[in-house]
């Protein structure tokens, strides 16, 4: 039961899901009926899809749970949640390492894009639609860093269903 919020958060905060949500909203409010209409993988889908990266293969469910759990469980205030998912994500709380967090986030975004069967070009189009983020990162890093990390992860990641 504790895994559901981690999986939901991992999916819901992905670029692909955010993009789909933006296309469905008529304003600034999110209604429950709109949320119910969005394309969210079922628990069975998460089990049936395998993700391979760096010579490791696991279900999309475990892939998202490990990475999402590490991103979320960064404080002892979340120990109650963390202890319920520690058999999958490891022992936390996890150290806040911005580079590691960026890598995990990019891998989640790439896995979700591939799970939705997007081409690299489609994924790049979605990433380019986040113009404010691109502007901020261009100013801060001299490049659209998140896009580069996401596309790099997309190229390294394989999905099998």
Q: Note the pLDDT tens digit of each residue in 127-150.
A: 999 999 999 999 999 999 999 999
Instruction: Report the pLDDT value the prediction gives residue 91, as an integer from 0 to 100.
Output: 86
In this predicted structure, what is the pLDDT of residue 136? 97
The residue that leads in pLDDT, 52 or 27, is 52
Mean of the pLDDT values across residues 76-81? 90
Cis before 161? omega within 30? no
SS3 33: helix
Is residue 111 within 8 Å of residue 51, measured between CB atoms? yes
Which band of pLDDT confidence, cut at 50, 70 and 90, is reported for residue 10? Answer: very high
pLDDT at 159 over 90: yes
Q: Comparing C-alpha atoms, which of 89, 117, 132 is closest to residue 81?
A: 89
Instruction: Determine the pLDDT at residue 63.
Output: 96
The pLDDT of residue 87: 80
């Amino acid at each position: 039961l504790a895994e559901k919020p981690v999986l939901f958060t991992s999916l819901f905060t992905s670029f692909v899901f955010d993009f789909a949500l933006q296309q469905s909203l008529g304003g600034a409010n999110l209604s429950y009926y709109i949320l119910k209409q969005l394309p969210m993988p079922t628990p069975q889908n998460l089990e049936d899809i395998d993700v391979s990266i760096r010579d490791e293969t696991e279900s999309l469910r475990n892939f998202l749970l490990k990475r999402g759990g590490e991103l979320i469980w960064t404080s002892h205030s979340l120990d109650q949640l963390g202890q319920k998912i520690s058999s999958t994500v490891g022992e936390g709380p996890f150290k806040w390492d911005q580079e590691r967090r960026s890598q995990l986030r990019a891998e989640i975004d790439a896995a979700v894009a591939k799970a939705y069967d997007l081409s690299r070009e489609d994924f790049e189009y979605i990433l380019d639609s986040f113009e404010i983020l691109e502007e901020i990162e261009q100013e801060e890093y001299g490049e659209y860093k998140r896009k580069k990390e996401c596309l790099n992860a997309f190229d390294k990641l394989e999905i099998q269903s």
